[in-house]
Amino acid sequence: MVEDQPDVAAVVEATADDIATMEIRGAAAIGDAAAEALATQAERSEAATPAAFRDQLRAAARELYETRPTAVSLPNALRYVLRGIEGETVAELRESTIASAETFRTDLEQAQERLGEVGANRLRDGDVVMTHCHSTDALACVEAALDAGKHVEAIVKETRPRKQGHITAEQLREWDVPVTLIVDNAARRYLDDADHVLVGADSIAADGSVINKIGTSGLAVNARERGVPVMVAAQTIKLHPDTMTGHTVEIEMRDESEVLSETKYADIAGGDRTDDGLAVENPAFDVTPPRHVDAIVTERGQFPPESIVTLMRELFGETTGEPWEV
């Protein structure tokens, strides 16, 4: 006899779809959406027993977790909310879940503001930053510098294939920051005009390696050669605690349609859509070694990449379990 699967609210499924398709993007936005989805699951649960309620919540967390393998803010958000749950009755569990999610979301919102203030201290009046992809943490540093009365300009890589750099350029222009938008392959040419490379992170490993949008590593190598410091802006929600116990970070492979349309694929393959001789690789992220990073800026201060493991141990302990697993 097959046991019934725990009921998962439709809003959880919708949130999972939006994260998977990148309708919801950015680590902070993903973490916030996941916490909100768990709170909604708790609100709408019709579980008759505490055990059934916990099963439903774990099932919802698993569905969210499986959407983006490298977006570490997602499992960190789920861990935070689930570990804050306590109570002996369904009502108590419901109340504590909603409260835990609300606390997480409030802390997340304040974390980015604090991070921005820390990062802004590294930016001088008149500095030019070069950005890659779209990071709200990186932009928080620029915004805080502007609020402090500093003049900042930006060289923005468009970041193919999804061109997230266009989002960055749009936000910076809303703040009246002068922007030079460049194609990715022109980065080395324009590094001499930059005072900082300022990027975000999808996740950060215990050894200080930075997992971020594909192209970050090459930019960091070129920046080091040119003597341009690389600053990574990342909330502590992006620290990857599993890497303390030897786990490696999986690099997400995106769909080939982001690189080639069906029509263009057929053109290149001579009209044969099943051509085994044409492969399209579309990794979403790469790994930047700590030796190419000058500072990791968080809401708890700035750290040399080699010492980030100390902060990780302080926040997560030596090991972590997965509260959504049965």
Catalytic residues: 133, 202
- Hey, what's the torsion of the CAs at 59, 64, 66, 68, to 10 degrees? -170
Q: Is 28 annotated as a binding residue?
A: yes
Q: Is 163 annotated as a binding residue?
A: no
Give the SS3 label for residue 313: helix
Asked if residue 293 lies in contact with residue 208, where contact means CB atoms within 8 angstroms, the answer is yes
Q: Is 149 annotated as a binding residue?
A: no
Q: What's the DSSP call for residue 233?
A: E
Whole-angstrom distance, CA of residue 253 vs CA of residue 284: 6
Give 32: exposed, middle or buried? Use CB within 10 Å, 0-12, 13-18, 19+: buried
Asked if residue 90 lies in contact with residue 41, where contact means CB atoms within 8 angstroms, the answer is no
Residue 90 makes CB contacts below 8 A (sequence gap 6+) with 45, 47, 48, 49, 50, 53
Q: Is 189 annotated as a binding residue?
A: no
Give the SS3 label for residue 197: strand
Q: Is 264 annotated as a binding residue?
A: no
Q: Is 157 annotated as a binding residue?
A: no
Whole-angstrom distance, CA of residue 98 vs CA of residue 108: 15
Reply yes or no: is the peptide bond before residue 161 cis, omega within 30 of 0.
yes
DSSP alpha helix (H) spans, 185-296: 187-190, 216-226, 262-268
Q: Tokens representing 231?
A: 């600053």
Annotated binding residues for substrate, as ranges?
A: 25-28, 68, 212-213, 238
Annotated binding residues, as ranges?
A: 25-28, 68, 212-213, 238
